[in-house]
Chain A
């Protein structure tokens, strides 16, 4: 047998078996009710068995419905269509079955009622009455005849009973004549059958009747060989002449077989009719019950079959729904089993193929996305590690990305403003005035430039003036249009500064070389002139010579100093880094300027536990001397001039030194060139003091800035890198 048959047997077998057995039982019960008396004893057992079976089937139905209710609550896929189809099938089967049930019930009731009609009942009653009347007449005749014989032969019977009973039997044409004493003793008998068999005596009640001198005549029945025989029993009590005793003469008249058969048939028909007439109501009840059970069994079985069939039908839908749910949860590895080779099987196969393809596509997308992410990370890493600042804007000029260098250059965290239009950004944050000018410079180029562009821009940052080289270009997009802008910002301040320094150093070197050489002969010539003519000239001439040579020597000395300054600026000695305590160095230098007789006052505000820095002590001494001298010179006309030097750390990476004086302040315009060589507003200044300061700071990879305005304090802020834990790293940094 194939698997389909076993599947059918597994799914429908039990319900088929139960229903078949119950249906057979109902058929047998129906046959018993109709007239199968041979199985009548089993009727009650079959009835209870069938009721129990239907109970089981109903229980199974309720259990199944309960299960469906649970599935409906759990929103199991396919349950709604199962319920809908089951309801439809139940209605399609139930309604016609109910109609058939109704008409069958009506037919049964009408059919049973039509079995019985008044005419038949009357005819049978009349036939019975006729038979009874006939037998009664015959009985009465026999009684009269026997009574007459006893009246005539009573004396002889008492005296010679044996002879007389024989004679009487012949005369009466009886089957059997027997003479009894009233005490039930048989005196004599005569029978046309076997004389060896004693006659059956009358019952005790009859002898009681005999003793009361009452006659008896009745039709009685006894079991015959083939059927019951009917006979007429006549008993006549009489006494003998001497009244010595009471006798009873029993005469048995056999009713002719033909008459018995006819009477029997009438009796049987009448009895059956009566029985059926009586059982009419119970029969209707029983047939109604059986029909109801058949209806119930048919309906329940049909519903169970329908549910099973619909569940089989919706099983592929459930499978597909389960798969869809798994896919919706992101499980693309699901593969639905294909059990049937029908259209649902094809659908499931198509679903599996589709999921497999989606899974493949998804994996490819994932891989692509991963690659893009890697590429993006790679690009970001490159951009992050670029020494140039990179800023990208979308086509709406909204900030997209930025790198650390860009943030550092502009001293702003651009990532906080991602997605915002930079103009909107400027209007929002009042602390970004430096960006206003920057964006106003680049905006026109962004709006009109489709080709790469470059721009040199000077930017006034928190730490001073910066020279930026800005390169801009557009970013591609999917639609071949402008997808955004990339702005690369190079801080070329140091480069420009280095170029300037180199140029100024060259100038200084040339000046030193060109000026220094003639100075000594000039000085020697002036001294020789004074020595030769001092003794020759007198009076005013001698004084004039003295004054002139003094002026020449003094100016030559001044020029030598200037040349020395030029030489110092031009010559960049090797920086000898060592671990120094900056506070200690500042304290040592300050001591030289803390003269009570001096006009100025120098105070220190140094942070405790100041971290060590790597620096060239001699160069730093020059730095602080230059700054202090600069301040003293600037406070020449200041009442109560005061210089304050403070140190502090704002983070673990930088050590900050501030040199503050309460001089007249520096004009905003002058702040732009204050650190430039040969830039001074002092009559005797060389214009190299602050330039050397900045050069020393830069040699130490530090940063110097100025915070001043006219009529307020002037503050030079120097930021030195602290010694990191890894000294080698710092050394490497410094070397670079």
Chain B
């Protein structure tokens, strides 16, 4: 089937913009991820750098609330007749809302998991706090059996489905709204 020239041009631009965005540096990437065992708990320390696109920054400046979804999965990897099997041990998923507020343009982070709200004078400081996971408890150490291989993966992404409805189509089609760190995976070394 022959595609008419105008449609093929639009498709080309769409895929070109997507692919060029995909090959550039990820707007959300982990600068450090490390597991820690503290008080018989497996915890996570991580630092995430956010490089928000102009579209997202503009939306925040225009009082559009942005929701970031953080997913942490602890899973066990095993092998059955040569086929790799992943068994999820623990899954943590929470949303953090970032929005500008007030006449003084404070930036507020609202954690939907613990309902904590933090106010920041600058967006950078808000993003820095958003991207800092310090000793986040994952699971009790006793859950981890010795001799088994455990892995931890984490991903932070902008939840486009929670954007205001009018923005939904734009966010769906525009690659600058595709903010996703991708899965960052690491092997858990259980202390003896």
Contacts and interface: CB of A to CB of B under 8 A. Distances in A.
A285 B169 contact: yes
B62 A218 contact: no
A14 interface: no
B45 interface: no
Interface string A213-232: 00000111101000000100
Interface stretch (A55-63, A262-270, A346-354, A557-565): A262-270
Given A274-B62, A277-B62, A32 B101 contact: no
A221 B165 contact: no
A40 B119 contact: no
B166 A286 contact: yes
Bin the interface of chain A by size. 35 or more
Contacts of A283: 166
A205 B103 CA distance: 22
Interface in B152-171: 161-162, 164-170
A198 to B, nearest CB: 17
A735 interface: no
Contacts of A278: 58-59, 62-64
B100 to A, nearest CB: 8
A641 B186 CA distance: 145
Interface string A254-290: 0000000001001100111011011101110110010
Contact of A47 (B103, B167, B168): B168
B104 interface: yes
A273 to B, nearest CB: 9
Contacts of B104: 132, 135-136, 218-219
Interface string B131-169: 000000000000000000000000000000110111111
A128 interface: yes
A135 B102 CA distance: 11
A279 B163 CA distance: 11
Contacts of A40: 164-165
B117 interface: yes
Interface string B166-185: 11111000000000000000
Given A40-B164, A40-B165, A221-B106, A275 B62 contact: yes
Contacts of A41: 162
A220 B119 contact: yes
A457 interface: no
B121 interface: yes
Contact of A267 (B61, B64, B103, B166): B103
Contacts of B61: 274
B54 to A, nearest CB: 12
A275 B64 contact: yes
Contacts of A131: 103
Q: Is the interface of A mostly helix, strand, loop or mixed?
A: helix
A223 B59 contact: no
A230 to B, nearest CB: 8
A282 B103 contact: no
Interface in A115-140: 128-129, 131-132, 135-136
A33 B64 contact: no
- Scoring A44, A47, A223, A289 by chain B CB atoms within 10 A of each residue's CB, the highest score goes to A44
Contacts of B162: 41
Nearest to A264: B102
Contacts of B125: 205
A344 interface: no
Contacts of B119: 220-221
Nearest to A128: B103
Given A220-B119, A278-B58, A33 B165 contact: yes
Nearest to B99: A271
Contacts of A270: 103
B63 A275 contact: yes
A283 B166 CA distance: 5
A410 interface: no
7 contacts: A40-B165, A44-B165, A278-B58, A278-B63, A278-B64, A285-B170, A286-B165
Interface of A: 29, 32-33, 40-41, 43-44, 47, 128-129, 131-132, 135-136, 203, 205, 218-221, 223, 230, 263, 266-267, 270-272, 274-275, 277-279, 281-283, 285-286, 289
Q: Which 10 A-B pairs have the closest CB atoms?
A: A278-B62, A43-B165, A271-B63, A282-B166, A132-B103, A274-B62, A283-B166, A131-B103, A279-B166, A128-B103
Given A132-B104, A277-B62, A286-B168, 18 more contacts: A44-B165, A47-B169, A135-B103, A203-B118, A218-B104, A220-B119, A223-B117, A230-B102, A267-B102, A271-B101, A275-B64, A278-B58, A278-B59, A278-B62, A282-B166, A282-B167, A283-B166, A286-B165
